[in-house]
Amino acid sequence: MVCFAAVALTKEDGVYSEFKALTAPISDAWVPEALAVSGYSREEHLQFPEPTRAMLDFRDWIAETNKGSNATFISDNPAFDWSFINWYFWRFVGENPFGHSARRIGDFASGLAGDFFRGGDWRKLRKTRHDHDPINDAKGNAQALLALMNNKRTNC
Question: What domains does the chain contain, in order, with CATH numbers?
Answer: 3-149 (3.30.420.10)
In tens, the pLDDT along 80-115 reads: 999 999 999 999 999 999 999 999 999 999 999 888
In tens, the pLDDT along 7-47 reads: 999 888 888 999 999 999 999 999 999 999 999 999 999 99
Mean pLDDT within 127-136: 95
Q: How far apart are CA 109 and CA 115, in angstroms?
A: 9
Q: How far apart are CA 28 and CA 21, in angstroms?
A: 20
The mean pLDDT of the chain is: 93
**Predicted confidence band at 65 (pLDDT cuts at 50, 70, 90)?**
very high
Whether the CB-CB separation of 71 and 98 falls below 8 Å is answered with yes
DSSP string covering 112-144: HHT-GGGTTGGGGG--S---S-HHHHHHHHHHH
**Predicted confidence band at 119 (pLDDT cuts at 50, 70, 90)?**
confident
- What is the pLDDT at residue 152? 56
- What is the pLDDT at residue 28? 96
**How open is the CA angle 78-122-66, to the nearest 5 degrees?**
50
Residue 155 has pLDDT above 70, yes or no: no
Percentage of the chain lying above the pLDDT 70 cut:
97
Phi-psi region of 109 (alpha: psi -120 to 50; beta: other; left: phi over 0): alpha
DSSP 17: E
Question: Which ranges constitute the DSSP H helices of the chain?
Answer: 32-38, 42-46, 51-66, 78-92, 105-113, 134-149
Residue 156 has pLDDT above 60, yes or no: no
- What is the pLDDT at residue 117? 87
Whether the CB-CB separation of 113 and 95 falls below 8 Å is answered with no
